[in-house]
Amino acid sequence: MATLEAEMKAASQVGMEIEFLRDLALEMTGEDQGCVRVFEDNSGCTSVAHGLKDTAKTGHFRRTCSQVEQYCVDGHMWLDWVPGSENPADIFTKAVKPAELFHKLRDVVMGITPVVYLSKAVQEMLRSNGTAGHSDVNRSVRRVMDFLES
């Protein structure tokens, strides 16, 4: 089990990569990229990243926490909590047991059954239908639906 500090450092690295790729995509396409959803199975990490939790135990890596929080506030990255059994990244980072879970995650990663976990927050955004400041999410969903229908 990874510590909160290690999870925040990993989230910071992901944020830096997202920033680079967003800039590259903007330069190549001329269109600003939307928010990138990052799966995280550590609920403490997601709480700290979204400014919902701050404890004395995060003081020694506060700069990292602030950096990840800024990526989230700027709308470039969003850490979304998912249960470990639904996190496809686990297949690359640890031994996945039992075999059924391995097969499920493998099929998601390979695109055989591209069913991705939807957290309660994502479900609420999709239900909001453009209200409560979630119009970008719904615009992206509409683009995907139009693409799939064409």
Q: What is the pLDDT of residue 58?
A: 77
Q: What is the pLDDT of residue 93?
A: 77
Whether the Cβ atoms of residue 109 and residue 88 lie closer than 8 Å to each other: yes
Cα separation of the two ends of the chain:
44
pLDDT mean over 15-30: 92
Q: What is the pLDDT of residue 70?
A: 92
pLDDT mean over 56-74: 86
pLDDT mean over 18-40: 90
pLDDT mean over 43-47: 88
Whether the Cβ atoms of residue 55 and residue 70 lie closer than 8 Å to each other: no
| pLDDT bucket at 11, cuts 50 / 70 / 90 | very high
* pTM score above 0.85: no
| pLDDT bucket at 24, cuts 50 / 70 / 90 | very high
Neighbours of 138 (CB within 10 A): 16
Does residue 1 have a pLDDT over 70? no
Does residue 127 have a pLDDT over 80? no
In the chain, the percentage of residues whose pLDDT exceeds 90 is 19
